[in-house]
Structure 1
Amino acid sequence: MPTAADPLLLAAARRGDAAAVRDALDRGARVEARDPELRTALLLAVLGDHVAAARELVAAGADVNARDARHDSPWLATGVTGSVAMMRVLLAAEQGPDLTLRNRFGGISVIPAAERGHVAYVQAVLQETAIDVDHVNDLGWTALLEAVILGDGGRAHQKVVALLLAAGADRELPDRDGVTALAHAERRGFAELAALLRG
């Protein structure tokens, strides 16, 4: 049953007030209370990169895999924000993240991180988890393909591609049209990415 403290918890998480999060929980707020979009307090904290507030919620047993109306979860959101500190807070949860959980596009956290050029996150998630580097989303793209197709070919995406290849990403895996990451890089005029993909 909802409690009077639930809105206080959600508001505190949204603004990143760790002390207010703790106070709301002490007042009886449900750690899995949800807003109208079905976002939990932990998801709100993750979206705002409020690490201290998230740490309080994880310590209280918040579910790092709880899905909202858009199929986002706290763990999946770390791939969007690229926050390594938040990733590590969630990895330390007693019930750790489900690395196979898919977002509304069928992707796992490393895919949006690769698309956005979140170098530090890609490096950390590849080194510190057993995430599937060759996971294919509903568009038919891996993290490697997404970095090339949706990236800008700049230094951040070059580093992401290098990290994915070093982690064993299959450079020969094509998209649904049979086009490889190398062919996409060549089509887009990304000479540096093409050189990396040729090995």
Structure 2
Amino acid sequence: MTTVSQPHVNVIHREVLPTGSSIALSARLRVTIDEAESVADLTGHLHDLVAESGVREGTLQVYCAHTTCGLVINENDAALHQDVQALLERLAPHSSTHHYAHDKHRTPAERRIHGERDNGHSHARARLATHPELNVPITAGALYLGRWQAVMLAEFDGPRTRELLVRAHDAAPRPPAV
């Protein structure tokens, strides 16, 4: 069952770029999720990075370079997460109950690399329900999200530690100091 997780989030790299660049801030977040399937709310951490960036008008880009988890913007509600989990179980049943060529046709060397873990369902669920990249508008120095919207990482193959690239793009970069 998908849970709403309090992720362990660490900023492992942060760089505020000089004026004149369209990228005002670049950061890497390390997100550790302790459950097999969970949704981690990143919204507060992203708000903090936008504030640090100093961008008044622009875009926050969040990129997830993984294939068995992904990003989503939606309401962060435990009952909604259960509903989505039930839907995904119908559309992409767990590897223990369904044949996925991804799992069954691996060579012995590939199985060693993946630790013998069957995760075809995780890949299918990530493709169906998430995005590898999100762009959220920044306006008046804050993320422009609807009242119930949250930016979340949906994990389908945990427990795992994931890395996300976050960049605040300034729509009107200031000219470099002379």
> Which category describes the TM-score, using the shorter chain as reference length?
under 0.3
Between 1 and 2, higher relative CO (CA 8 Å, sep ≥ 6) is seen in: 2
Higher helix share: 1
Higher strand share: 2
TM-score by length of 2: 0.22
